[in-house]
Amino acid sequence: MSFIEVLDKGYVRLVNHMGADLTVVNAARVSYAKESTELSDKDIRLIRFLAREGHTSPFRHVMLQYEIYAPLMVARQWWKYVVGSAHYEGTGDSLEAWNESSRRYITEEPAFYIPASGEWRSQPAHSKQGSGELLPTEQGHKLTAELREYIEEGIRKYEAALNDGVCAEQARLFLPAYGMYVRWYWTASLQSICHFLNQRLEHDAQKEIQEYAKAILELSKPLYPVSLDELVGSH
C-alpha cells in the first residue's frame, strides 16, 4: 500500500524511501567496523537501546518521501517541523525538504476542505486552542452551507479576475485560504517523521492533522516496523 485518502479530498502517497531497520543498526555499529546482513534479535535490542537512550543519529540515515494533498491549515502546521528540524536534529543543515505547488504558476480547479454537517466541533471548555465536543447536526448543516457559499463566491471572484487579465499570483487573493487544498512533497529522516508523529498523533492535536499523521504511520510502519515501534510507541 502506498496511498491513503484523508478527509474529504486529501491523501498521502508514499513516493520513495531509503533504508530499513537494518540501516539504523549498521549506522550505529559503523564505528566498530561491524555490519549486519540480516536483522537479528541482537539488532532489535540495539534499536530499542538507541531509542530508549535518545541516541537518535542512526535513525537519520533512513529517509522517506511523501506526496501530500491537504488543506492549507494542515500544511502550515506541518511546515514548522521543516523550519525547526535543523535545531531539533542538532545538525548544521535540515534533513527535511518541502516543495509545494503554487498558484503563481498553476490555475487548476481549486479544491477546498468542507466539513460535513456532523463534523463541526465546539470550542474546548478549558483551553484557548483545540476543540471540544461535536456540535449539533442542525447547527452543522447551517455552517456547512455557509462555508460552501463563501467558497463559491471566492471562486467566482477568482475566475472573474483571471478573465479580466489579472495575473494568477494576485487573482488567488480572492480564494478563501485556510480550507484550500495544497499539494507538496515532503522528504524527511525517520527521526524527523517520528518526532512529527509523536506530537500530531496526540489526542489534543488538531483532528485534521491527526488524520494525516495516522496515514503517515500506516504507510511507514511496514517499512520500519521495529524502529517505529520504539520511536513512536503505542500510537
CA distances to 25, 55, 150, 157, 173 from 60, in Å: 12, 11, 44, 46, 39
Catalytic residue (one of 60, 172, 183, 200)? 200
Cα separation, 97 vs 81, in Å, equals 10
Residue 104 a catalytic site member: no
Cα separation, 233 vs 235, in Å, equals 6
Radius of gyration of the chain measured on its C-alpha atoms: 21
Cα separation, 235 vs 231, in Å, equals 10
In the chain, DSSP finds a helix count (H) and a strand count (E) of 8, 5
* Interacting residues of 227 by C-beta distance below 8 A, sequence separation 6+: 21, 24, 47, 51, 59, 62, 190, 194
- Strands (E) across 117-214 are located at 181-189
Catalytic residues: 200
